[in-house]
Structure 1
Amino acid sequence: MATIPQESPPPFEASHTIDLISVDDSKIANVSLYSGRAEITRIYKFPVKTGQNQVSISGLPNVLDPESLRVEGRGAATIHDVALSDIPEPVVASMSPDLEDLLSKQEWNQKALERAKKSLASLEAYLSTLNVQHINVTELGQVMDSYDIAGEKLDKKVTELEKTLKGIEADIKVERKKLTGPTRDARLRKRATIGVFANSEGEVEIVLIYGVRQANWTAGYDIRVDMEAKDKPVTLIYKAGITQNTGEDWDDVPLTLETASPTFGVDIPTLSPWSLSVYRPVIMKKSKRNLGLAPRGMASQYASNTYGSLSMAVHERDSEIDTPGIHDSTGIEHRELAVSSKGNISATFRVPGIITIPSDNASHNVTVVQLKLDASMSWVTVPKVDARTHLKAKIKNASEYTLLQGTASVYVDGSFISRSDVPLVSPQESFDCPLGLDPSIRITYHPRSKKVSHSGFYTKSSVHVFTQRITVFNTKAHAVNDVKVVDQVPVSESSQITVKLVSPSLSVPEASGTGGEVQAPQAVKVGEGVHAQWEGADEQGIDMEHLGRDGKFHWVCAVPSQGKINLVLSWEVSAPLHTDIVGL
């Protein structure tokens, strides 16, 4: 009976191992920088063999977020698994035969140098002890010659020993460097291990995308105002201060600035149960040992209200953070991020060209964009407190860029004025920018006048009439249309005292007869180009029921070039005769 030969199984093919160092064997294709973190895109190209290949990429930053790591690939291969681990500290040999021999030579030469220096010092000491009176003139020359010969010999020996020691120290450094091997940044001690199954031998490309901490950018601005310009008087230079200490230098990389803040595992919070219960004290039996005292930890319960208490039950909830897995994909093209503005939620800025940001934790400034913006100028003064006039601009962000909160250096007509804070401003939104003091708008707060009269037949009362004059003088070569002068009248806190605003004749808001809603009072015209209004009436979200109750109001004036405007404030205070009024 013929036997059928058994076919032997194919031999087991060992996995092909590929060791890569991230900084040396890859190129950063893109950096997306957020507030507090960055997303790095690195491209690796390497040859693979048919079958299983084990790719080890070492030197990844310690601040790498494991949950953010993902791998993409191009080529005739399939990614099987991805693992991230820490690289242990290398065990470094501290001694070798060559280093031991060099250290021995160093010690011998150091001792020889010390002996030579002591001999030289002794020779100098001996020469200083010689007395000329006890030495003949003929012998003096021989002594000096002997001193020169011995001193020259010792100087030469010291010089040679010092030179030899320098050479030995250099050799010791070289030998110790051989023992430690090439120095690697201690901040780069992460390793990614990737299993790649290749259908055929050839070159493949892997893209590693991962997030890192210790990278940040903050917004900064230069705001330059041209007071003579009629169209778009504001030039806003949008700058970014970039810092990173990830351990990786970003050399010649395309950089994208993101205004969004990526979050992981942040869910909408839920309310815990909130219940009411009646406090029931625990009665402890008295004994000779405790003498009726409450046990430790229950003193606060006995100090509570005996009849009842409010308690809130707080239940701890395990945070359920969705941990995204590492997504493996093949045959996916690596695409460059597009520059776009996404309105009020987030915006993306592509820094022009390429940029280099070393990992030094220092701030590196780049210009994002330069914008020409419209602005309306206004002047504000509170002459009762300070007669100086403040200039401010209401700037409209008529661009597609979201302005992040940051500090601005403000320049008016080329002169530095102040540093100001810019709030978060969405596209098409406006913000106020103070521009310092404007001495060309001069305010005179004249002395207040007062008249007192009496009225009433049976019930006598006194009436105090106050008048306050204010002069606004525009010394500019052009007219200004929005000068706001803020002032106030006193507010009565007693039913016996009545305060009445006479001029300007502003009325307190009252509810309408139909819907019961409080209507905002209209501005009162008090002169050519001058209107008066309660302070806050031009603001959004003002409580109309309390408008004017604090006695504060303002005039808005249009003042011609080299022109003056006189404002008059008049009010009456009435009270029973002989009433001592405090605050006038």
Structure 2
Amino acid sequence: MKNSPLLILLLFTSLSLSAQQERKVDSKITNVTVFLNKAQITREVKTRVEAGKTNIVVTGVTSQLDPQSIQVSGKGNFILIGITHQQNFINEFNYPPSLQRLKDSLDYVEKQLIMENNQKEILTKEEQLLSSNQKIGGANQNLTVAELKAMMDFYKARLTDILTAKIKVDEKLKKLNETRAKLQRQVNEERDLFSRNTGEIVVSVSAEQQTNVDLELNYVVQNAGWYPVYDLRAVNTKSPVQLNYKANVYQATGEEWKNVKLKLSTANPSQGGLKPELNAWYVDVYNPVVRQLKGRARGVSMMKKAEADMEVTEEEVMAAPAASLAEHVTTVQTSVNTEFNISLPYTITSSNKPTLVDIRKHDLKANYQYAVAPKLDSDAFLMAKILGWEEYSLLPGEANVFFEGTFVGKTFIDPNQIKDTLAVSMGRDKRITVKREKLQDYTSKKLIGSNQREAYAYEISVRNNKGEAIQLVVEDQIPVSQNSQIEVSVIDTANAKYSKDNGKLTWEFNIQPGETKKMVYKFELKYPKDITISGL
């Protein structure tokens, strides 16, 4: 059967209309919500499509994303048909400006190396040429003394210039090689973050006519998260403690979060949101005979917690900045999590090092007292007992402690282990003198019948050399027996609070400037003479 021209035209038109158009577009990251582990990225896409069906290919997306988390919404006279995700193993991420600058610097250094090596080769050739032409004049030609001296001076001067120039070239080559090695290491480190295969999100749309398309893409990525760090600052013992709540935000996704609206969330998607269900707990008589189990116990599939810790090198900030990002952060308490919205645009580079972000500042009421355990350390420590910390959604994290403008040390805040009061050591105070010594006059060892008796006495003296009265807590201990053959008798606690469970002695008192207080406590041990005591 012959095909008519009209039928061929209709068939061609039908195939043309049904052909799927493809448009590759760029996008911009506008919002990022960073969880404790993972992050949610929001991208904006603006383009224009023709009538019919079009595959909008959003390129340059990280390959670290979770395809199941992709969500797309849009504005315009079109219909969303479908969403797919694919990997592009050919194209790489466009290098960011920082990496491009490193590559340009490396290229420049390598060109300099080529030039210097060429210069060295020219000098070497000239040196060889002079060395191979040392015959002055012909065999039968006689030179005057003046001509011979002039020729020798020429050779000497030129060879000296050549050797000097080669030394300078070698010095330049050494420095250039060192610079090239450093740049190459840095480029390799940066390139590792950006040279992975890229992802592409394909959004299929259908439009009746040519129209503008505004899309918003959301997806969750791995290799990103944040963890808290704190600064605890106190001016003196009469001031509140300032808590600076900060976050170390990290991401190694290969994407640049440049001037984005940043939100930090205490949620952890890696832990999953499904409630586990208890199955029946069966017990039975143990039977060593190997049996084939019938049936299977049902369980709940839970996501494993991803590793978020990074080796980082962080410099200590010894003084608070004049202006803080914390002033531009609002806190939103949801039913299950806390979110910190940062109003100023923020940039988080894809790097192996975290970026420090100020979250909030709080002035917390604190009671100050000194504490000392002279058996372990004769120095007294200033302790700040902070109240009302529960309101601020603190997470476990390391804290830098500052007192009177000086860095004191580090501590760890774990809200899960703290009760009503958060106790923080603010450092040592050498102006409080503490001494603990065994009193030999009251220490004895006697054998009575089949039993050995040992008596001990210790004196603790405390002197306040400060110009103000202080509250002081002194801690010591009496041994606790772990064997029924050993009896521990408390003779005198010197009015201390005594705990029989752990043998702890606690004195708490006010001591005036220049005042000295002394406490003497005594105890006795009784045990069979034929055993040896450990722990004394």
Q: TM-score range by the shorter chain?
A: 0.5 to 0.7
Report the Cα distance in structure 1 between the residues aligned to 2:484 and 2:418, rounded to whole angstroms.
51
2:21 matched to which residue of 1? 17
Q: Which amino acid aligns with 2:498?
A: W
> Alpha-carbon deviation of 1:221?
2.0
Query: What TM-score do the two structures reach when normalised by structure 2?
Result: 0.67
| Structure 2 residue 495 is the aligned partner of structure 1 residue 475 | no
> Alpha-carbon deviation of 1:214?
1.4
1:186 matched to which residue of 2? 195
Report the Cα distance in structure 2 between the residues aligned to 1:217 and 1:197, rounded to whole angstroms.
40
Report the Cα distance in structure 1 between the residues aligned to 2:77 and 2:467, rounded to whole angstroms.
76
Say which SS state the counterpart of residue 62 (structure 1) adopts. coil
Q: 1:318 to 1:130 in 2, by over 3 A?
A: farther
- Map 1:55-454; keep pairs closer than 5 Å: 55-89=56-90, 120=126, 123-130=129-136, 135-137=141-143, 185-187=194-196, 189-228=198-237, 230-232=238-240, 234-263=241-270, 264=272, 268=276, 270=278, 275-280=284-289, 339-342=330-333, 345-398=336-389, 400-424=391-415, 430-448=421-439, 449-450=441-442
User: 8 Å contact 1:443–1:471 — kept in the other structure?
Assistant: yes
Q: 1:382 to 1:75 in 2, by over 3 A?
A: same
Q: 1:27 to 1:569 in 2, by over 3 A?
A: same
> Alpha-carbon deviation of 1:557?
1.8
Unaligned 5+ runs, structure 2: 1-6, 93-117, 163-192, 304-328
> Alpha-carbon deviation of 1:313?
9.4
> Alpha-carbon deviation of 1:488?
2.4
Unaligned 5+ runs, structure 1: 1-5, 92-111, 156-183, 281-300, 302-309, 323-337, 506-525, 527-531, 536-547
Report the Cα distance in structure 1 between the residues aligned to 2:394 and 2:368, rounded to whole angstroms.
20
1:518 matched to which residue of 2? none
Report the Cα distance in structure 2 between the residues aligned to 1:350 and 1:207, rounded to whole angstroms.
20
> Alpha-carbon deviation of 1:56?
1.4
Report the Cα distance in structure 2 between the residues aligned to 1:375 and 1:316, rounded to whole angstroms.
53
Report the Cα distance in structure 2 between the residues aligned to 1:493 and 1:122, rounded to whole angstroms.
90
Report the Cα distance in structure 2 between the residues aligned to 1:467 and 1:312, rounded to whole angstroms.
66
Report the Cα distance in structure 2 between the residues aligned to 1:439 and 1:39, rounded to whole angstroms.
51
Report the Cα distance in structure 1 between the residues aligned to 2:47 and 2:366, rounded to whole angstroms.
56
Percentage identity across aligned positions?
24
Q: Which amino acid aligns with 1:214?
A: N
1:103 matched to which residue of 2? none
Report the Cα distance in structure 2 between the residues aligned to 1:390 and 1:311, rounded to whole angstroms.
64
> Alpha-carbon deviation of 1:380?
2.5
Q: Which amino acid aligns with 1:237?
A: N
Greater helix proportion: 2
Q: 1:118 to 1:273 in 2, by over 3 A?
A: same
User: 8 Å contact 1:273–1:312 — kept in the other structure?
Assistant: no
> Alpha-carbon deviation of 1:215?
1.5
| Structure 2 residue 50 is the aligned partner of structure 1 residue 49 | yes
> Alpha-carbon deviation of 1:426?
11
Moved more, 248-257 or 191-200: 191-200
> Alpha-carbon deviation of 1:31?
0.6
Report the Cα distance in structure 2 between the residues aligned to 1:131 and 1:216, rounded to whole angstroms.
81
Report the Cα distance in structure 2 between the residues aligned to 1:339 and 1:453, rounded to whole angstroms.
68
User: 8 Å contact 1:450–1:464 — kept in the other structure?
Assistant: no
Report the Cα distance in structure 2 between the residues aligned to 1:476 and 1:551, rounded to whole angstroms.
31
Q: 1:10 to 1:380 in 2, by over 3 A?
A: same
Report the Cα distance in structure 1 between the residues aligned to 2:420 and 2:207, rounded to whole angstroms.
54
| Structure 2 residue 511 is the aligned partner of structure 1 residue 559 | yes
Q: Which amino acid aligns with 1:475?
A: N
1:486 matched to which residue of 2? 475
Q: Which amino acid aligns with 2:430?
A: P
Report the Cα distance in structure 2 between the residues aligned to 1:114 and 1:503, rounded to whole angstroms.
89
Q: Which amino acid aligns with 2:244?
A: I
Coordinate RMSD, CA, aligned:
4.6
Say which SS state the counterpart of residue 64 (structure 1) adopts. coil
Say which SS state the counterpart of residue 189 (structure 1) adopts. strand
User: 8 Å contact 2:89–2:197 — kept in the other structure?
Assistant: no
Query: What TM-score do the two structures reach when normalised by structure 1?
Result: 0.62
Deviations along 1:92-147, one digit per CA (max 9) or x if unpaired, are xxxxxxxxxxxxxxxxxxxx999998975663233224379964237996997xx9
User: 8 Å contact 2:401–2:407 — kept in the other structure?
Assistant: yes
Report the Cα distance in structure 2 between the residues aligned to 1:402 and 1:426, rounded to whole angstroms.
14
User: 8 Å contact 2:332–2:341 — kept in the other structure?
Assistant: no
Deviations along 1:222-262, one digit per CA (max 9) or x if unpaired, are 2212224x241x12222222222211111111111112111
User: 8 Å contact 1:499–1:574 — kept in the other structure?
Assistant: yes
Q: 1:251 to 1:429 in 2, by over 3 A?
A: farther
> Alpha-carbon deviation of 1:58?
1.8
> Alpha-carbon deviation of 1:427?
12
2:498 matched to which residue of 1? 534
Report how many residues are paired. Answer: 434
User: 8 Å contact 2:474–2:508 — kept in the other structure?
Assistant: yes
Say which SS state the counterpart of residue 214 (structure 2) adopts. strand
> Alpha-carbon deviation of 1:559?
1.9
Report the Cα distance in structure 2 between the residues aligned to 1:493 and 1:191, rounded to whole angstroms.
67
Mark the structure with the bigger radius of gyration: 1
